[in-house]
Structure 1
Amino acid sequence: MSSLKFEIRDITQVSYDAIVNAANKSLLGGGGVDGAIHRAAGPQLLEECKTLNGCETGEAKITKGYNLPSKYVIHTVGPVYSGAVDDKRMLENCYRNSLLVAKENDLHRVAFSAISTGVYGYPLPEAAIVALTTVSNWLADNDDYDMDILLTCFDNRVYDSYSDYVENYHGSNDYLNKLKY
């Protein structure tokens, strides 16, 4: 049976099948969570990423996890927030395509970082809605595939944005309704 949860965690310490890296288009490391994942994984991650020829916004690619507790890293490039309608669609694609890559690789436990909410400037309340809605809908649409999803929060602001959305959610998605405490 699938599950969805969120908690304050350092994604580099999560021992799942895969963690999702909020990468830049080069996939060659950067700041924030991307830099932290590259540092924790070791230099082999950069060497493998060099063979992937980058990644477009909304797409996802997979590498080994190397020195990380998780076996794999799924790299996705979130949108740089501009306020355009396309921002939401691209962020949804990040979550959806990362889960598709996980399923294609027979992975069943995936932890996400809060994609695009750091230097890419996506407002936390809006990003929380996209993350929670997209992953919970994916779980409902793929109910024949067991998947445990953890949305990691790097601080209380991220956690509170997820909590606020869940507390005010009045829809029929069971995964979101189960998150209410």
Structure 2
Amino acid sequence: MKQAGIFLALVIGALLFVFSCENPFAPGLKHDFEGAALIVTDQKTPEDVLINFKYAYNFKDSLVYADLLDSSFLFISKNFATEPITDLTWGRDVDIKTTVGLFRHFQTLNLTWEGTVYARYLNEERTLKEIKKVFSLVIDGGREIPTIRGEALFVFKKKLFSANDTTGIWRIIRWEDLSSF
């Protein structure tokens, strides 16, 4: 009887230990420690999407990145290699393929959001929001490629699961790179 009690105490202790541990190799969900959001969020706000965007770039995580983009996503930039300068525009599939190539080609990426120029809702329902951000992107520690600094204009759309839903997630429907290299 005494051995069964000791065995039961060991099993309970082991279970408590196992369930109190976190996996250091798995991204955490959003937690708030002294106001700082950590790692992967649930995308309940456009700002959460930007946290995940930064995470995807910094950890070169194409799965997290793909989940940021709405099916109607559009990327817009300028092609400074042409004379005259032309527009570059592509959709979600090309953007994911291009970003995966970027993630594979460089050893390190360090994206930093340096500030918000403005943020505003685009409709009364508050399901479309535009945010203009200032950013810097350091590639491979900045040894061979200078730090890219610029502005990006994002439009986010809240995906509602029903007409009365208030818990939908946000995704990017438009990203305009306003950088001028």
Answer yes or no: same fold by TM over 0.5.
no
| Structure with greater Cα Rg | 2
TM-score (norm 2): 0.22
Higher helix share: 1
Q: TM-score normalised to the size of structure 1?
A: 0.22
Give the strand-richer structure, 1 or 2. 2
